[in-house]
Every structure is written in C-alpha cells, then in structure tokens.
C-alpha cells in the first residue's frame, strides 16, 4: 500500500467547505470522486484542515493510500484532467506510511484579503472582502501583535465546548498593503473554529474605533466571545500554507 502526500489549491465559492456533507457539495466529495476514477479504486482522502463554506485554499494538503502504481506526475495530470476548473492539484509525492495530512501537520498560515475602496471590484467579488472604510495599517498591525504567543483564544471561537482546549500558539500576525489590497497573514500551530475570521473582524473593529487598539489582551483574558469583534466574511479567507516540519513553521 502506497501513501501519497498531495498539495492542491481551490476556490471555495461553489463549495460548502472541504469536509463531506450529506446534502451539500464539498471539495472532498469532488476530489475523492476524481482521485478514485484516476486510481481505478475507491479511496478516501484525508485533509489537513476543515474549511468553511466559501473559504479558499492556496495550499491544502491531503493524504491518500492506494494500491495503484501510478507515478506522481501521472497522478497530477490525471486528476487535474478530471477536476473542475476551480480545483487544482499542485504536487504529489510518496510519503511515509505513517504520514497523515492532518495529524502530521505542524502548523498553518491563513491569509485574509480586503479590497479597500469605495467602489467594489468585480474581479474580487468572491475572493476578497470589500471594505469601504479608511484602513489604518499602523493601528491594526499594533493591535494584531497582541495575538502573538501561546494564549487562551476562547473569546475568538464560535461554539467552543465548555471543556474544549482553547489554548493555541500564534507565531506571527502581519499586515501587508499593496494599493487597495490589504492582506492579513497569521501563522500558528493550530486554530479554533472561526478563530481567524473573528480575529480579523476584531481588528476591523479596532480600525473603526469600536475596540481600543490595546484592548485585545483584556478580551483574551475574558474568555468571552461577546467581548470580541465581528466574524469577518468567509470569502476573504484563504488557507495559505501548511507546514510539516518545525523548520518550515519557524522560518520567515
């Protein structure tokens, strides 16, 4: 039995997230069907993460076990030939038998995109959040640093169970600007449900003066979701990179 490590990218607009659901079209459902056809056997793919409806991925890893002798290049070409245009296989390689896309992952980087302009951009309608307010990068960058470190992020999680472990480590949180585009990049060992979108929404509330720039530590300490800001819209969010070694995670 071979174990393959596969990287893909997808535009999440037409999908109800990655994980298979009974009554909705998902990325996993579509990819499994195409991979099974190319390998000529039914397979289950194991994803590195769950993504919500409308969320995108620039780099998403899945592992799959197969008896097929297909070469990695043949896998890439064959599966890409079956997939719809909004999903693409980027790479394929042999992996150790114990490799698992989710459980072997050391960390992830998410990117949130804003289109900051009075006028909407028809070319980013479902790929970036349209934000009409004046954006203050220095204030947002300052506030974002309060997220860095190992902390309890219960206030930045939707529907966290009372007994759930909500402590996570954030390695970095950076704000980049290119014309009307703003990118927020957050890298960490793990993330709670809606955590990145709530962090971004809270920073937008800081940008608008609804929350003080130095108020995030108090929100973290409160462990109260009602103290944090809005949940930013899903279509601005991307799983940007996944890391499988400590060296990758700690670089940059």
The residues that are catalytic are 52
How far is residue 33's CA from residue 246's CA, in Å, rounded to a whole number? 33
| 195-207 vs 137-144: helix crossing angle, rounded to 10 | 140
- Evaluated on CA atoms 188, 194, 197, 198, the torsion sign reads negative
Please report the DSSP string for 136-198 in residue order.
-HHHHHHHHGGG-EEEE-GGG-SS--TTS--EEEEEEEEEEEETTEEEEEEEES---TTHHHH
Overall residue count recorded for the chain in this entry: 252
């Amino acid at each position: 039995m071979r174990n393959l490590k596969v990287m893909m990218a997808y535009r999440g607009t037409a999908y109800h997230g990655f994980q298979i659901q009974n009554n909705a079209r998902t990325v996993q459902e579509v990819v499994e069907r195409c991979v099974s056809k190319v390998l000529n056997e039914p397979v289950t793919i194991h994803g590195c993460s769950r993504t919500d409806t409308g969320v995108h991925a620039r780099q998403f890893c899945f592992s799959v076990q197969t008896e097929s002798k297909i070469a990695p290049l043949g896998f890439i070409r064959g599966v890409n030939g079956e997939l719809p245009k909004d999903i693409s296989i980027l790479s394929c390689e042999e992996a150790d038998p114990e490799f698992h896309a989710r459980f072997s992952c050391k960390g992830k980087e998410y990117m949130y995109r804003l289109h900051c302009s009075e006028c909407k951009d028809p070319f980013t309608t479902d790929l970036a959040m349209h934000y009409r307010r004046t954006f203050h990068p220095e204030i947002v960058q300052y506030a974002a640093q309060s997220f860095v470190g190992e902390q309890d992020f219960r206030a930045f999680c939707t529907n966290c169970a009372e007994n759930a472990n909500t402590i996570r480590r954030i390695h970095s949180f950076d704000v980049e600007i290119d014309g009307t585009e703003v990118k927020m990049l957050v890298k960490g060992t793990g993330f709670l449900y809606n955590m990145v979108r709530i962090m971004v929404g809270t920073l937008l509330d800081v940008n608008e003066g609804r929350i003080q720039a130095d108020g995030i530590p108090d929100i973290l300490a409160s462990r109260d979701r009602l103290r944090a800001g809005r949940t930013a819209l899903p279509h601005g969010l991307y799983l940007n990179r996944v890391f499988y070694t400590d060296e990758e995670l700690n670089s940059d």
